[in-house]
Amino acid sequence: MEKLQENHIYTGTVEGYSSEGLGIVRLDGAVVFVPGAVRGETVDLKITKVMKTAAAGKIVKIHAPSPERAEPECPYYGRCGGCDFQHLTYPEELRAKRQRVQDAITRLGGAAVEVEEILGAKDPTHYRNKSQYPVGADGAIGFFRERSHQVVAVEGCLIQRPEADRTAEAVRAWMRRYKISAYDETTGKGLVRHVYVRVNRAGEILCCLVVNGRGVPREPELAALVRAAAPGTVGVLINSNTRKGNVVLGERYRTVWGQDYLMDTLRGLTFKLSVPSFYQVNPAQTEVLYGKALEFAALTGTETVLDLYCGIGTITLCMAGSARRVIGAEIVPEAIRDAEENAARNGIENADFFCGDAADVAARLEGEGLRPDVVTVDPPRKGLAPEVIASIAAMGPERVVYVSCDPATLGRDVKLFAQTGYALTRACAVDMFPGTRHVETVALLARQAAAGAARS
């Protein structure tokens, strides 16, 4: 790294992309991370920071633009930190994401398994059914700049639903008209912190205002403006969050107008969603994701399926029609209540749900002698705790279907599963988040004694 100097300009070729979507250029053996770079381009870059094992740079000249370089459609690209790949064609974005999953499986997981494919979105725009707009201390409503809490005011986002953008604009107008204060995280004063919006496939809206207190002035006027901007609104809520920190939602809710839930459909089933419910944000791609999970589960109607991190029961209930019995486990009590309601609503009688930490539930069921044929997991970004993996292995399922939102933790867990006798046999990437660096993966792990049969 001694050869690279800050503010000096070097010439290099972009080899690929980092896990954060940055271009990778190697200069004299040193790795330089370059935003806005496209694989195959030769660029002049200025070194902006030299670190112990790598460096950061920025492009000052592109000698010949790649055919995979695209003109960003979003006017906020480069200011808003929400999207990483607006400068790439969609096929190149998919290639980068598939390679990211492959690298994690191979380098971190130690598995010699090829990622079969990446399933891209038919429409990579306006797909998000959940929007969280932070409110800046100056009243700006939009999204954070990358690696900061400075809010960039955004009037229209290419990946949010237009109904959500109109709802955020209505809140902005209400704040200006009635001089409602915005929350200032540096002082802890002010009221409005976030605008949280859910949209279902029918275009219905659930709007929740996150505030630093129990309420705000002019709540009826707020509801009226939101309903006028988004006629599909079914409920307007206030969420109280008086804690400092980055957590968006507090624990107390109050309904200002309408109802406190939204109904949505997924793979022919109907689900009830409250504001804090975990629910995949891209409905079309969720059906693709769950379809691949069902394929990997290879159910014949005779199996018992255990679904850890079940949330409101989406994967559990999607599996129910192809299994003898399904069991869901989740630590959030409200989610379990929603899951039980969703089972009853859809007439599903072979589903049971348990509330508790995944490790505790798995250990308890294993101690009670439960022997599921298939275990499915859809953990948060941090992946599985070692004790969860140990409990799953102790139950001895034939197959584990792992739905992952982070390739790095998936790779780590694949290696841990291998130590318990489970081998990765299949993997498929699904682009749930077009425009961003994030990617979902469905992975199949089989008991090593059965690994040969799983491959055939």
Whether 143 and 185 map to the same domain: the answer is yes
Which CATH number do you get for residue 27? 2.40.50.140
Assigned domain for 302 exists: yes
Average pLDDT of span 369-395 = 93
> What average pLDDT does this structure show over 424-452?
90
Q: What is the pLDDT of residue 265?
A: 96
d(CA 72, CA 69): 9
- How many domains does the chain contain in total? 3
Q: Is the pLDDT of residue 67 over 90?
A: yes
Query: Is 354 in the same domain as 381?
Result: yes
> Of residues 149 and 258, which shows the higher confidence score?
258
Long-range contacts of 71-74 (CB under 8 A, 24+ apart): 73/158, 74/157, 74/158
Residue 253 and residue 151 in one domain: yes
Answer yes or no: do 431 and 362 share one domain: yes
Q: How much is the average pLDDT of 170-193?
A: 96
**For 139-154, b where at least 16 C-beta lie within 10 A, e where not — what string?**
bbbbbebbeeeebbbb
Q: Kindly state whether residue 295 falls inside one of the protein's structural domains.
A: yes
Q: Confidence band (pLDDT; 50, 70, 90) for 2?
A: low
430 neighbors 442 (Cβ within 8 angstroms): yes
Q: Is residue 243 domain-shared with residue 380, that is, in the same domain? A: no
Do 105 and 177 share a domain, yes or no? no
Exposure b/e, 66-92, CB count within 10 A at least 16 = b:
bebbbebebebbebbbbbbbbbbebeb
Q: What residues are labeled active site? A: 405
Residue 277 falls inside a structural domain = no
Locate 162 and state its tokens: 């237009």
**Single residue among 266, 296, 327 that ends a domain in this structure:** 266
Residue 271 counted as domain residue? no
pLDDT band of residue 28 (cuts 50, 70, 90) is confident
Does pLDDT of 183 surpass 80? Answer: yes
Tokens of 336: 């379990």
- Note the pLDDT tens digit of each residue in 344-376: 999 999 999 999 888 888 888 888 888 899 999
CATH number reported for the structural domain that contains residue 369 in this entry: 3.40.50.150
The verdict on residue 442 lying in a domain is: yes
Shared domain check, 310 and 428: yes
Domain boundary among 242, 266, 290: 266
Residues 312 and 427 in one domain: yes
Question: Is the residue at 83 inside a domain?
Answer: no
Q: What is the largest CA-CA distance in the chain?
A: 68
Q: Which of 266, 295, 313 is the last residue of a domain?
A: 266
CA pair distance 346, 273, nearest whole angstrom: 14
Q: Are residues 371 and 395 in the same domain?
A: yes
| In-domain check, residue 76 | no
Are 311 and 371 part of one and the same domain? Answer: yes
> Where in the sequence is the domain holding 449, given as residue range(s)?
94-122+282-455
Does residue 274 lie in a domain region? no
Q: Give the tens place of pLDDT for each residue, 185-226.
A: 999 999 999 999 999 999 999 999 999 999 999 999 999 999
Q: Are residues 141 and 252 in the same domain?
A: yes
Model confidence pLDDT, tens digit, residues 435-448: 999 999 999 999 98
pTM exceeds 0.85 for this model: yes
- Together in a domain, 14 and 116: no
Between CA 56 and CA 6 the distance in angstroms is 9
- Say how far apart CA 289 and CA 312 lie, in whole Å: 17
Tokens 């201390």 found at: 137
